Amino acid sequence: MNIRIEPSKLSGKVLAPSAKNISHRMLICSALADGTSVIKNLLECDDTAATAGILTAMGAKITKENDDTVVQGIGKKANRQIFADCFESGSTLRFLIPVAAALGCDSIFSGRAKLPERPITPYFTELSKKGIVFETKTMPYKFSGQLKAGTYTIAGDISSQFISGLLFALPLLDGDSEIVITTPLQSKSYVDITVKALNDFGVIVEKTDKGFFVKGKQKYKSCNTFVEADMSNAAFYVVANAIGSNIEIDGLNKDSMQGDKAIIDIVEQSKGTAFDVDASQIPDIVPILAVLATFSKGVSHITNCGRLRLKECDRLAVTAQELNKLGAKITENSDSLTIEGVDSLHGGICDAYVDHRIAMSLTIASTRATEPVIINGAECVSKSYPKFFEDFKSLGGKTDVIND
């Protein structure tokens, strides 16, 4: 789907979508629990559908009752063999491989688009030492065996999702385990969110100087939960306001544990002028930060974001390339972006590169263009925010679907 946008400022009220990162975690914990859990305000998108589908394949029962998601957990009695279609979701892949291993499932994990290229090397290294046999090391990943307790050594600067995946799995094992993190942990807030989710479902993990200690033979306990708003997606509206729109954003929890709430402080502190940001803890909002910097006076620097090259696309290169097509002045460096502010963009044709955050960032950037903006492949917003263009139009955005 290609979208043509007539530039216009946005105004009105919008309800921030539910948090994708929390929705994944609530689904997993509910599925691993004994009994029935109710999740209110779960985000329904391609990524969470992938997680729900695999948990169903493991033996959980997930249904909708009005606006609630009801999950009948599997406890430790999972189906012996599973086929796991992760769609394009890196979170689903990295969260559920160790869970399947802990449950002793003979598994095939598949995916599409850029997902087969996203690294899972730490699992090949560590899980293979603890009872798991990988028949393939390219997607589809085929593995079997029963995961064993022990010490797991993981780098902290590839993806925090590996650590979260182990935190979901290790409490199910018969013995105690330790996670040793060998490099500074990036995206730390996501691990904190995982720990809180575990606590909500009765599972306790202990932080140590090196990482985490995880006691074995724990049981997930069913509970009723609520998914708060997604700060990563709310960031698009926060930046839209900073560059000239007037949107009332409902549902935000300013006390959220989500690291991406930093967007609020960045906008307030920059006040339309250039800024420098270390993005090691907030990689998901780098594309929309680049939009903010594009319309800030002076030269901004977004640093420590080389990991973005391993996302749905090379998000660092594509952010610079596609905004520059519209008239931005962004220089791509090895692990950073340097952005010289401009007054407006001239419009043009750009591509989302099958990346939801690129598509939404380009859409917000279009509000400051002087001519129409065409975004090819804009349907990828369904990965995390299926209603994005519906909400955009409700705020006065002028979009039309054009022929491919």
Q: Where are the domains of the chain?
A: 2-17+229-402, 20-214
Kindly report the CATH number that applies to the domain delimited by 20-214: 3.65.10.10
Residues 374 and 1: beta-carbon distance below 8 Å: no
The low-confidence residues of the chain, meaning pLDDT below 70, are 76, 404
Q: Do domains 2-17+229-402 and 20-214 have the same CATH topology?
A: yes
DSSP labels for 355-389? Answer: -HHHHHHHHHHGGGBSS-EEEETGGGGGGT-TTHH
Tell me, what's the pLDDT at 75?
Answer: 72
CA-based end-to-end distance of the chain? 6
Crossing angle for the helix pair 46-58 and 20-32, to the nearest 10 degrees? 10
Residue 127 host element (H or E): helix 121-127
Tell me, what's the pLDDT at 403?
Answer: 73
Residue 168 host element (H or E): helix 160-169
Read off the tokens for 385. Answer: 């925010």
Question: CB neighbours of 268 closer than 8 A, spacing ≥ 6?
Answer: none
Residue-wise pLDDT for 192-237, tens only, equals 999 999 999 999 999 999 999 999 999 999 999 999 999 999 999 9
Residue-wise pLDDT for 114-161, tens only, equals 999 998 999 999 999 999 999 999 999 999 999 999 999 999 988 999
Tell me, what's the pLDDT at 241?
Answer: 98
Looking at this protein, which amino acid is placed at residue 218?
Q
Tell me, what's the pLDDT at 77?
Answer: 82
Tell me, what's the pLDDT at 129?
Answer: 97
Cα angle for residues 154, 284, 196 (degrees, 5° grid): 60
Among residues 230, 284, 351, 355, which one is catalytic?
A: 284
Question: CB neighbours of 310 closer than 8 A, spacing ≥ 6?
Answer: 118, 119, 158, 159
Active-site residue 284, yes or no? Answer: yes
Name 4's bridge partners.
Answer: 374, 400
- Report, at the CATH architecture level, how domain 2-17+229-402 is classified: Alpha-beta prism (3.65)
Tell me, what's the pLDDT at 404?
Answer: 56
